[in-house]
Amino acid sequence: MAKLTSSTTHGVLLLPLCLLLLHIFSPALSLETTKLRGSCVASERDALLTFKEGINTLHGSLLSSWEGQDCCRWRGVLCSNKTGHVVKLDLRVDPDEFPWASISSNISPSLLTLEHLNYLDLSSNNFGGQQIPKFIGSFKNLKYLSLSDAGFRGSVPPQLGNLTKLLHLDLGGNYYLQLVDLVAWLPHLSSLKHLDMSYVNLSAAVDWVQALSMLPASLRILDLSDCNLNATLASLPLYSSNLTSLVTLYLYDNYFYGPIPDWLLGNMTSLEELWLGGNDLVGMIPETMKNLHKLKVLDLGWNQINGDIAELMERLPHKIQSLYLGGNNLNGSLPNWIDNMTSLSTLDLGYNSLTGSIPSGMGKLNNLSYLDLSYNQLVGMILEDHFTSLTRLEILDLSTNSLTMGVHPNWIPPFKLKKVDLSYCKLGPHFPAWIQSQTNITSLVMSSAGITDKLPNWFWNIISQIQNLDLSLNQISGVLPMTLEFLSTAKSIILHSNKFEGRLPKLPMGLWYLDLSRNYISGPLPLNLGSIELSYLLLLNNLINGTIPSFLCNQLQSLEVLDLSNNHLSGQLPECWTSGNSFRVKNDWRDVGCYLVMANFYNNSLSGKFPLFFRSCQQLSFLDLSYNNFTENLPAWIGTRLPNLVFLLLKSNMFSGYIPIKLSKLDQLQVLDLSHNNLSGTIDPSLLKFKAMTLTSPYTSDLNTLAANIVESIDSNSDPFSLFVITKGQILEYQNDKIFFLLSLDLSGNSLTGEIPKQIGALAGLKNLNLSSNRLIGNIPQTMNGLLSLESLDLSNNELFGEIPPTLSVLTFLSHLNLSYNNLSGRIPSGGQLETFLDPTIYIGNNNLCGPPTSKNCSGNQTTMSDLPEHEDGYDMSSFYLSMGLGFAMGFWMIFGTLLFKRTWRTTYFLFVDDICDRMYVFMVLKWARLNARIKKK
């Protein structure tokens, strides 16, 4: 056997030692291997489970994965690959995935066990108004903290200042946070690179300017948008601060005012994005703006920036990419050299006062993807040259200008638009053929574009991705498809004021807005409308006939606005949520699914009693059943179950019985029209307690906020929201927000009896009062002088008697008056507003009225100008005035010298003489009238 070498001997001796060491340290190696695989530390797992137990998570799948031993595999938990400790906790909520997800309850301090945590995100949850826990300031290793949009309120704990390693802090979207003492904690975050306090009310933080000046030089992104900051930009310490490395600055939607100082941005040469939109800035941008060579995005939209657009663009850095200047006061023409700004990708100049034509050089901006020139005063032709190199253009808005599209019929654009708005541009008379190439389009608006053509057959095929379609206010003809279900992404379809024919098509499932008003849609309404999300259904002024199917209540659970007026509908409205003749009462009106705010069935042939299903529509603000054949009594529950009614129009039906007194509970009611029905009984005084009608400016009050939302929510391009009222002797149409300035009470054309209650004078805001064509008796109340806003008063065709109250003369806004065909008597009062009514027909049919403007003279014991009393002893007052005149003449020279040197005497004397002259003038006029009267008698 060969002799063992020295090295072999050593190896043999070391082998048992290695095996021993392996046995001893194998548990540690096993633990390290486990940590490398991501298995979490047991104490940290327990801390997370304790945190989970202390919260209530809606849509529990957010934390449904928090089971088992390996917390490093739980959703939102990240562990270190080296140590196994939890280093990241990301519990932010994706609104698209969990639109209603929320966490409510206390955040357990058990999280403090996560000592190695450097990333914490609780954003987009809902902590129900809790305060930010103070213990968050104990995470000494935290580098990323996001608590945005999480429903926190109260004071921000100053302990956040302990997070000296923090690089990213986001408190944005917590509207009720109180950031009072910023200096106490904010400047201590010496490593901060990203600070977001957007949508947090900083108006109470008096030290916000000081805190801003103390921010670290490391800061790259600062977001103070919509923080209710009210100051001049000159007060910002941007020039003198350490923020020389700032890359992005958000200050939009605040109350900054005044000009932008030349020195404001100073040495902030690293700035790439500056967002100042939605403030009150004025003047021209400073020339120093051009020194920000790295600036790529500038937002000054919706301010009051003024001046020439060409001068402004000369002051911009050459390589600006996104320029938002919409909603300002810019004027002048776009410069011809605009083609030099080749870096532009976004150009928003909408809502200004730009004039002239669009330079053809615009077509050379090959990076342009967003172009908005809407709502200006641009003129001229749009040619193919304007789009030559715009291969990246996706959004184009040229609406509301005086532009004419002059491209060749066979032109194929170089771009693929996603959104286009060419409303009020001249595109017709033919339907623009170039649209056929735009197969990616999601929003197409060409309203009032002068198109009088037939809709091409290819049109419906190329808008398969459409979300918003508006071809309104043209004369486009064609038959609508039987179904529009293939437009699966459509949300809004507006085709009103055209010549479309056919039946109402089946709608896309997700459609929420449909306006086919003022077309030739015919046939009955479909039994299945298709969409279950429809909120706005506007079909007025068509040829639709038949009955209204039950889809109104069974399918349209989200319906808010329904307008079927001016059609040929007949029969009764569906009972909807009723069971036989008895209404099915539920604990909450929302249970029955009625969200109607506006319902208009004006001018059809509908019949039956007042529809019961409205009883569940407590948000109903506008209801018009006028010009139909509804019968029976008006239910008293209108006044209690419909508390938000602002407009109740039941004109020209066959309603009978008394007017329910409970209608007076409708505090927001501005227009009540019950005219031309078969109503009887008296006008109960307690009925005249409509709160909104007592206000002289109801539109500025908080009463009709819900009603105002009707007009605001209806698209501006939709058929105008109209209200027809008989006032001032004619039918007047009130459109859109003008209806909220109307307050009207019309009970005419019924069989009402009794007297006009004196309480009517309390309706100080009323503008139109019509009680004509009833059987009212008694005097016209003297209290009508309280109707201070009244513009039209019609009491004709009744049985009123007595004198016309002179107090009507104080109604200074009254422009229409009709008192004809009553039994009124006496002299027609004069003076004030009554002097303006010169038409005698407004008093016709009152045989015992006399005086102007009628031709009948007053006589007998009635008071006339010729019957004014003389002195009681028969002595003519002329002798008194004559002797007074002689006395003054004799004493004139006696006192003349004194008057010259005594100012107070002079003033008193001449005032006295003026009064005497006035009296003598009246006396002479009356004497002359008496003399003429005696001559006529002889």
Q: What is the pLDDT of residues 528-547, one digit of tens each?
A: 888 888 999 999 999 999 99
- Which helix (H) or strand (E) segment holds residue 934: the answer is helix 903-937
State the sign of the Cα–Cα–Cα–Cα dihedral 16, 18, 24, 26.
Answer: negative
| Strand pairing category for 647-649 and 598-600 | unpaired
CA angle 429, 432, 434 (to 5 degrees): 160
The mean pLDDT value for 314-318 works out to 92
d(CA 706, CA 644): 8
Reduced to 3 states (helix: H, G, I; strand: E, B; else coil), residue 218 is coil
pLDDT at 20 over 80: no
Nearest Cα to Cα of residue 503 among 532, 524, 476, 529:
524
Q: What is the pLDDT of residue 268?
A: 86
Nearest Cα to Cα of residue 361 among 378, 347, 375, 342:
342
Percent of the chain whose predicted confidence (pLDDT) is above 90: 63
Residue 803 CA to its chain's centroid (Å):
49
Cβ atoms within 10 Å, residue 763? 25
pLDDT at 719 over 80: no
pLDDT class of 906 with cuts at 50, 70, 90: very low
Cβ atoms within 10 Å, residue 675? 25
Percent of the chain whose predicted confidence (pLDDT) is above 70: 79
Reduced to 3 states (helix: H, G, I; strand: E, B; else coil), residue 828 is coil
Query: Looking at 60-69, 384-393, 629-638, 739-748, which range is the least confident one?
Result: 60-69
pLDDT class of 455 with cuts at 50, 70, 90: very high
Cβ atoms within 10 Å, residue 837? 20
CA dihedral 149, 155, 157, 163 (to 10 degrees): 40
Read off the pTM: 0.81
For residues 732 and 767, the answer to whether their CB atoms sit within 8 Å is no
Q: At what angle do helices 903-937 and 878-901 cross, to 10 degrees?
A: 160
Q: What is the pLDDT of residue 47?
A: 95
Q: What is the pLDDT of residue 552?
A: 73
Query: Looking at 45-59, 707-721, 724-738, which range is the least confident one?
Result: 707-721
Longest dimension (CA), the chain: 178
Between residues 374 and 21, which one has the greater pLDDT? 374
Q: Which residues in 805-897 belong to E strands, given as ranges?
A: 816-818, 823-827, 848-850
d(CA 646, CA 11): 101
Reduced to 3 states (helix: H, G, I; strand: E, B; else coil), residue 880 is helix
Cβ atoms within 10 Å, residue 15? 10
The mean pLDDT value for 375-381 works out to 97
DSSP class of 391: T
pLDDT class of 674 with cuts at 50, 70, 90: very high
pLDDT at 610 over 80: yes
The mean pLDDT value for 13-24 works out to 44
d(CA 923, CA 925): 6
The mean pLDDT value for 307-324 works out to 95
d(CA 599, CA 597): 7
CA dihedral 76, 80, 85, 87 (to 10 degrees): -50
pLDDT at 422 over 90: yes
Question: What is the phi/psi pair of residue 612, to 5°?
Answer: -70, -30
818-823: long-range contacts (C-beta < 8 A, 24 or more apart)? 818/729, 818/772, 818/793, 818/794, 818/842, 819/780, 819/795, 819/843, 819/846, 820/796, 820/844, 820/845, 820/846, 821/796, 821/797, 821/845, 821/846, 822/795, 822/796, 822/797, 822/798, 822/846, 823/799, 823/848
Q: What is the pLDDT of residue 127?
A: 84
pLDDT class of 740 with cuts at 50, 70, 90: low
DSSP class of 532: S
d(CA 362, CA 333): 13
d(CA 816, CA 842): 9
The mean pLDDT value for 589-593 works out to 43
For residues 566 and 529, the answer to whether their CB atoms sit within 8 Å is no
